[in-house]
Amino acid sequence: MKLAFVVDPLDSFKIYKDTTFAIMREAAARGHSLYAMGQEDLTWRGGMVYGSAKKLHLSGEKPRWYRTEGETAVPLQDFDAVLMRKDPPFDMEYVYSTYLLELAETGGARVFNRPRAIRDWNEKMGIARFARFTAPTLVTRREQFVREFLAEHRDVILKPLDGMGGTSVFRVRHDDPNVNVIIETVSHHGRRTIMAQRYIPEIRDGDKRVLLIGGKPVPYALARIPKPGETRGNLAAGGTGVARELTARDRELAEALGPVLYEEGLLLVGLDVIGDYLTEVNVTSPTCFQEITEQTGFNVAGMMLDALERALSL
């Protein structure tokens, strides 16, 4: 099969941990042809969406782990699948890419994850559709409501809806002398909608990434454990990833959300779970494949390619 990847610049990949690289490596091992393009390579003209794609060959060597050949403007429907693996931030350029990819679908392209689903499932707001699995949560621009929420729960997390990697995430206690400035900073003085969640002390045991592939859970989660003195478990914020078997609660969440998300067109999803609570639904470019595989021996990328091949056969 011909697989096209919409990605960040290839030279920016950290191949020792990059999930997209793991997917590419598995696909190449199965004999599939790989092509790479960036968001800037998507073009609509003459009623058709093209990608200026380069054929990609994996060398298996460091530091130059790949080589490319040619660059040809190819109608996206000429590929067997297009995998949208551009990392956040989910800015307007990302939104424009989803518009182009959705247009490509109307011409027969198979895009994973589906662009409309990526656009519709904000990674913070997605939990609102499964409120029975969440800790007490508030979404607002109003400082008064945030203060009332803080007075009720006394220890909360504040974060913007468009953050990534733990950026601009604050833990605030009811008696924190910096409450005013923190709320002002996160909400941009009420100009930006934010999320407040009751602090979940089980973060000390890790912010777990539960992967759903084709609506089914990977049997291991990656618990991202905060470094000492830190509230955030994100690997980008210095957390340590430890693979663990799914708990009964993890499986309950996965079994409830998996079929719904897959029906929406989300082949790969990363659920963030702290303790018993769902905290985020990651749909743009979920990660943690390599960490889980290295620690458990379970071939996560193999499960991903199995699901992709199965979806393309339908």
Contact 290, 17 (CB under 8 A): yes
Q: Output the six-digit token pair for 60.
A: 């298996």
Q: Which long-range contacts (CB under 8 A, 24 or more apart) does 57-65 make?
A: 58/24, 58/25, 58/28, 58/34, 62/15, 65/13, 65/15, 65/21
- Pick the catalytic residue from 18, 250, 280, 291: 280
Q: Is 280 a catalytic residue?
A: yes
Beta strands of 128-188 (E only): which ranges? 137-140, 155-160, 170-173
Q: Could you tell me where the beta strands, DSSP code E, fall in the chain? A: 2-6, 33-37, 42-45, 48-58, 66-75, 81-84, 111-112, 137-140, 155-160, 170-173, 194-198, 207-213, 216-217, 220-225, 240-245, 268-274, 277-282
**From 85, 124, 198, 208, active-site residue:** 124
Choosing from 207, 209, 234, 250, the catalytic residue is: 209
Q: Kindly state the tokens that stand for 67.
A: 């080589």
124 classed as catalytic: yes
Provide the residue count of the chain: 314
Task: Choose among 271, 285, 266: nearest CA to 214.
Answer: 266
CA 210 to chain CA mean position, Å: 11
Told to judge if 209 belongs to the known catalytic residues of this protein, a careful annotator would answer yes
Catalytic hit among 54, 122, 282, 291: 282
Q: Tell me, yes or no, if 184 is annotated catalytic.
A: no
φ/ψ of 91, rounded to 5, equals: -100, -170
Given 25, 114, 159, 208, the catalytic residue: 159
Catalytic site residue 250?
A: no
* Alpha carbons 59 and 63: distance in angstroms, whole number: 10
Pairing between β-strand 220-225 and β-strand 137-140 as defined by DSSP bridges = unpaired
- Look up 282 and say whether it is catalytic: yes
Asked about 232 being catalytic, the answer comes back as: yes
Count of Cβ atoms closer than 10 Å to residue 8 Cβ: 15
Active-site residue, 110 included: no
User: What CA–CA distance (Å, rounded) separates 283 from 120?
Assistant: 10
Q: Which of 18, 122, 232, 291 is catalytic?
A: 232
Tokens found for residue 143: 């400082």
* Residue positions annotated with a catalytic role: 124, 159, 209, 224, 232, 272, 280, 282
